[in-house]
Structure 1
Amino acid sequence: MPSPSPVPQARARRLVTPFGAAVACAFLATVVLILVVVRWPPLMALDLSVARDLHREAVTEPGLVHVNRILTDWVWDPWTMRVLIAVAVVVLWWRGARVLAGWVAVTSVLSTALQQGLKSAVGRQRPRWPDPVDSAHYAAFPSGHAMTAMVSCALLLWLLRRHGPGRTVWRAAVAVAVVSVAGVGVTRLYLGVHWLTDVLGGWLLGAALAGFCVAGFDRYERRGRAALPRRS
């Protein structure tokens, strides 16, 4: 009997594309943004409930607070993520992939500009406590830590995938990225400097921006290959 056609499997793989995922994340981020701006009562109540429960726990655990502050201020700080991206950009430039290097650099800069622009436009206040365990600057929505971690980790995974890593290396990298993105969101909530929707909005916006970056560069490469002269 003939072997099953691989076409259905290939079609299944194409159901989720970087562009499609980016559009979905952008849509969800817009929904969250609108609900935050209009202060939808059920969502605001959820934000307050989560913030209160975590802060009540944090004030009784100074050791755990210290660990979270180290993680959020050093390990998963936005500047740490930007340094990693900068290193990747320098390596790409040195290896001659200058368009790709510029593409990644511009995406990282756009991430910072977008988050700061939204913070200024939305102007959401951060949680306020009579006994805070940490402090933060700028407005609350979206979480800059969460958004920067999502964009940076997604871009680094994409670059690694293009390099063709082995299965073990790839799985380890994905695990580190997932822990970093999730962990930075948890630290911001535990330290009482963000609402749950700030972190969720940061994740969604970061995923959308990274997805559009990947989709845009893939399209650029396809057009470049199509423009190459064919050999007779």
Structure 2
Amino acid sequence: MPDAINTVGQTGTDPHLAERTASGEDRHDTHIRRIIERILWIIGLCVLLSAAYYLHLHKGPLPGEVAFSRAVQSIHYWPWMLSLLTFFSTANDIPPSIVETTVVFIFFLAIRWWKDAFFFLLTIGVGNSINILIADLVVRPRPSPKLIHVYTPLTYNSFPSGHTEHDVVFYGSLLYITFTKQVREWRYHWILLPFQIFAAMAILGIGYSRVLEGEHWLSDVLGGYLSGTLWLFLLIFLYRWVTNLQYKHRLKKEQASNNQPAKQNTQHV
């Protein structure tokens, strides 16, 4: 695959490269967009913390949640669809999640994508850890079998949904990597399309499957989506920051190497 910042080699012929980010975007436009992203991120964090505090005080289902869960469970699903929804939840249990994360991490190390490997691992580690911390503070009980059908009774905390949050950071970080410059410029990037479709389906399907199985209320699932999105974007901000630092360092190094011959020629004259 081509280098993520292969435009560095053109510094001698293109003076405008310093005005662009590592991904080739205009720095001014990127700066404005990032300000908006930070504002939205802070708003999202306030919403998550407010919801967590409210559910800590009112642990029962919110109005309409029992009816929503019963409606989801009363639908007659095609066997293949039910199997797919069940698979999304089963694949997200702790043992398979550890195996999947380990395999992906080792794969990135094998192809020497060090930054992507640690971005992936750090995103999952930070996201899951903070999500567990919030759940331990909220201490919301799981849906009661007296109210809805519960496939597997669990005693773990319910808000935010850990399965939903994990899918967002796991597949979300991989999706982000597949859209980075180094992958977009790869000659065979189109072969990743099936994975991208599956990843999007997994993120969308996991929340529905958790309600279907009676493991979470709707608010738990929405909290899991919000929690996962917040920690995913937090690590994406960090990934971009590190990438741009590397880009600036390579620009300076390239400019220094280009100026060195010029100085030598001046001395000879």
TM-score in same-fold range (> 0.5): yes
Preserved contact between residue 82 and residue 108 of structure 1 (Cα < 8 Å):
no
Task: Number of aligned residue pairs: give it.
Answer: 221
1:1-232 mapped onto 2 (5 Å cutoff): 11=29, 15=33, 19=38, 22-39=41-58, 44-55=62-73, 57=74, 67=83, 68-74=85-91, 76-77=92-93, 79-130=95-146, 132-162=150-180, 163-164=183-184, 168-169=190-191, 171-227=193-249, 228-229=252-253, 230-231=255-256, 232=259
Structure 1 gap ranges (5+): 1-6
Higher mean C-alpha deviation, range 133-142 or range 91-100: 91-100
- Give me the TM-score of the superposition, normalised by structure 2: 0.68
Work out which of the two has the higher radius of gyration on C-alpha atoms and give 1 or 2: 2
Structure 2 gap ranges (5+): 1-24, 260-269
Q: Give distance in 2, aligned partners of 1:40 and 1:122.
A: 8
Preserved contact between residue 71 and residue 184 of structure 1 (Cα < 8 Å):
yes
The CA deviation string for residues 169-201 of structure 1, in whole angstroms up to 9 with x for no partner, is 565444322211111111110111101011001
Match of 1:69, as an amino acid? T
Cα offset, 1:73, TM superposition: 1.2
Indicate the SS of the match to 1:192. coil
* Backbone CA RMSD of aligned residues: 3.4
Cα offset, 1:104, TM superposition: 2.0
Query: Percent identity, aligned pairs only?
Result: 15
